Chain A
Amino acid sequence: MTTFPIEKIRADFPILKEKIRNKPLVYLDNAATCQKPQAVIDSISHLYMHEYANVHRGVHTLSIKATDRYEGAREKVKDFINANSTKEIIFVRGATEAINLIASTFAKANIKKGDEILITAMEHHSNIVPWQMFCEQTGAVLKVAPINLQGELIYEEFEKLISEKTKLVSVVHMSNALGTINPVKKIIAAAKAKNIPVLLDGAQAIPHMSVDVQELDCDFYVFSGHKLYAPAGIGVLYGKQALLEAMPPYQGGGDMIRKVTFEDTEYNALPYKFEAGTPSIADVVGLGAAIDYLTEIGMDNIAAYEAELLDYATEKASKIEGLRIIGEAKEKGAILSFVLDKIHPHDIGTMLDSLGIAIRAGHHCAMPVMDFFEVPATARASFAMYNTKEEIDVLMNGIEQLIEVFG
């Protein structure tokens, strides 16, 4: 903890020097999106200023440089999540597109009427709606494993829902609304025992812990760059090579083909088969820079530091009368979702904003979770590696003040 270079990290994020409503910014909406370090911002401007052209096309120098940067970032992603090969790293717009890609390719080819897809009751809408749409089109059935009042998956119930009909298990690694970290190793082992492929939605988990897809042995892992200190609009689909090879392509267009005639088209090899059209080149390069930045700090160090922040925030919040924490899982990431007696989260959000504090107020794209806890919405403070205990003090002080004002 004492060695965690918090001052240096804070200095690396230019936006943290901003004043909001004449107060120093306290940015606690990291589960929605993270701020970007100078290294990421610089990598993008450097590319546009010195090395930009289209990738995989030209024989000219700039195109070769841009391609090197782009493919170099793929290599970094591969190492970051310990994939076996860069062929398993597909660049998409974000976790949402990655899940939709799997629904329209893998699921379409492998899941039929009467088959079941198993998710949990704590999923983000992005891991509910694509499957509902798929089920509506195909007659497949969506099964939902329940959670308990702490916001944890009831594992025994989950296990009971696995059957011969289950053709895909798709679960969130860490819940965006509750902070719960799911027992994914156990989940994967249970599914593997019945040869059921597993998709992990890692959008929320990836900035908070080291992820090793080979150790997890998941079949698909998806995440968004913007929650990993990288630009918005870029994300990653990891898939095991054999599965990706067997899947039909997603979108048709340039780059995903090897040979096109008007009669027939031969698709390109992995990973390009799933990357139709000119990709978001600079954003991919930015993602590579974010990964370099994080690797230097070390994901385990980040996880340890954030665990201290969460403990501190939880302890402070528990002392506030009328505050109820939503999501009290034993295994939990750096998210504090809460409600206050008789004060609507939107009022909390506006009031804290006037103090320079950015939190999220709403349903967090997880309406079924809100229904379960019988709240219309929650206020959510979500922490990142650049937050401090002093900022948590500012937040807690703000909450106490607003309770007083509302009387």
Chain B
Amino acid sequence: MFDDLRDLYQEVIFDHNRNPRNFRVMEDADRKVEGFNPLCGDRLTLFLKMDGNEIIDASFQGSGCAISTASVSLMTEIVKGKTEAEAEALFKQFHEMTTGKEDDIDLEAIGKLAVLAGVREYPARVKCATLAWHTLDAALKNEANSISTE
């Protein structure tokens, strides 16, 4: 059962869904942005601690499906220690990977995030994976407090 779904729901995704990393409120955050997907009701708050243009800590709160929870959990892990420019470059790679527009993804840079590549076969689920990154993008651009996938 569910054999067809192995590419979408990899074990890493179940793991991050059960035990999300960096799932906490950050009291002394420099940036705090809310992300919302009105189509499914997913909601998350992303917290960033910056040192100059380097992200030194990232955490989140909220509720969503396994794909969106795993995506934001993985993202908070991978962006720690990255500069704004590096994080933005990663967002671009991630976006291309999930929307299937680019075949030559830099697998080394994308690292663990590659487990989310399966969503490209499920158009209805792409936004679940990208919500975290759109929220990060807004936080890095220091945009207003809330972003939406719609």
Known: A351-B2, A354-B2. A377 touches B66 (CB 8 A): no
8 Å CB interface, A310-368 against B: 343-347, 350-351, 354-355, 361-363, 367
- Choose among B4, B5, B18, B41 the residue that contacts A377 (Cβ–Cβ < 8 A): B41
In the complex, whether A192 has a CB less than 8 A from a CB of chain B is no
- Give Cα distance in the complex from A402 to B1, angstroms: 9
8 Å CB interface, B80-134 against A: 122, 124-125, 128
Chain B residue contacts of A345, Cβ below 8 A? 40, 65
Evaluate contact between A347 and B65: CB separation under 8 angstroms: yes
Evaluate contact between A347 and B67: CB separation under 8 angstroms: yes
Evaluate contact between B41 and A21: CB separation under 8 angstroms: no
**B46 CB to closest chain A CB, in angstroms?**
18
Q: Name the CB-closest residue of A to B119.
A: A350
8 Å CB interface, B20-55 against A: 39-43
Evaluate contact between B2 and A344: CB separation under 8 angstroms: no
Evaluate contact between B1 and A355: CB separation under 8 angstroms: yes
Known: A21-B4, A344-B65, A406-B66. A350 touches B40 (CB 8 A): no
- Give Cα distance in the complex from A344 to B125, angstroms: 12
Chain A 74-100 near chain B by CB (<8 Å), digits 1 or 0: 000000000000000000000000000
Chain B 46-83 near chain A by CB (<8 Å), digits 1 or 0: 00000000000000000111110000000000000000
Evaluate contact between A347 and B39: CB separation under 8 angstroms: no
Known: A350-B125, A361-B40, A407-B18. A402 touches B66 (CB 8 A): no
Evaluate contact between A346 and B1: CB separation under 8 angstroms: no
**B32 CB to closest chain A CB, in angstroms?**
21
Q: Name the CB-closest residue of B to A397.
A: B1
- Give Cα distance in the complex from A347 to B2, angstroms: 12
Q: Name the CB-closest residue of A to B125.
A: A350
- Give Cα distance in the complex from A345 to B65, angstroms: 7
Chain A residue contacts of B1, Cβ below 8 A? 355, 401, 405
In the complex, whether A376 has a CB less than 8 A from a CB of chain B is yes
Evaluate contact between A376 and B63: CB separation under 8 angstroms: yes
Known: A347-B65, A350-B8, A407-B18. A376 touches B40 (CB 8 A): yes
Chain B residue contacts of A355, Cβ below 8 A? 1-2
Q: Name the CB-closest residue of A to B42.
A: A376
In the complex, whether A101 has a CB less than 8 A from a CB of chain B is no
- Give Cα distance in the complex from A401 to B3, angstroms: 12
Chain B residue contacts of A406, Cβ below 8 A? 14, 17, 66
In the complex, whether A370 has a CB less than 8 A from a CB of chain B is yes
Known: A346-B40, A362-B41, A376-B41. A402 touches B2 (CB 8 A): yes
Chain B residue contacts of A377, Cβ below 8 A? 40-41
Number of interface residues of B (CB under 8 A): 23
**B12 CB to closest chain A CB, in angstroms?**
14
Number of interface residues of A (CB under 8 A): 22
Q: Name the CB-closest residue of B to A343.
A: B66
Known: A21-B4, A354-B2. A344 touches B39 (CB 8 A): no
Known: A346-B125, A350-B122, A407-B18. A362 touches B5 (CB 8 A): no
Evaluate contact between A401 and B2: CB separation under 8 angstroms: yes
Evaluate contact between B18 and A344: CB separation under 8 angstroms: no
- Give Cα distance in the complex from A362 to B64, angstroms: 12
Chain A residue contacts of B64, Cβ below 8 A? 344, 376
Q: Name the CB-closest residue of A to B69.
A: A344
**A77 CB to closest chain B CB, in angstroms?**
34
Q: Name the CB-closest residue of A to B39.
A: A362
8 Å CB interface, A94-151 against B: none
Chain A 10-28 near chain B by CB (<8 Å), digits 1 or 0: 0000000000010000000
- Give Cα distance in the complex from A202 to B53, angstroms: 57
Chain A residue contacts of B128, Cβ below 8 A? 346
Evaluate contact between A362 and B18: CB separation under 8 angstroms: no
**A188 CB to closest chain B CB, in angstroms?**
34
- Choose among B8, B14, B125 the residue that contacts A407 (Cβ–Cβ < 8 A): B14
Chain A residue contacts of B42, Cβ below 8 A? 344, 376
Q: Name the CB-closest residue of B to A344.
A: B65
Q: Name the CB-closest residue of B to A378.
A: B41
Chain B residue contacts of A351, Cβ below 8 A? 2, 5, 9
**A407 CB to closest chain B CB, in angstroms?**
7
Interface residues of A (CB under 8 A from B): 21, 343-347, 350-351, 354-355, 361-363, 367, 370, 376-377, 401-402, 405-407
Interface residues of B (CB under 8 A from A): 1-2, 4-5, 8-9, 14, 17-18, 39-43, 63-67, 122, 124-125, 128
A sample of 18 cross-chain residue pairs with beta-carbon separation below 8 angstroms, ordered by A number, consists of A343-B66, A344-B42, A344-B65, A350-B5, A350-B124, A351-B5, A354-B5, A355-B1, A355-B2, A363-B40, A363-B41, A377-B40, A402-B2, A405-B2, A405-B9, A406-B14, A406-B66, A407-B18
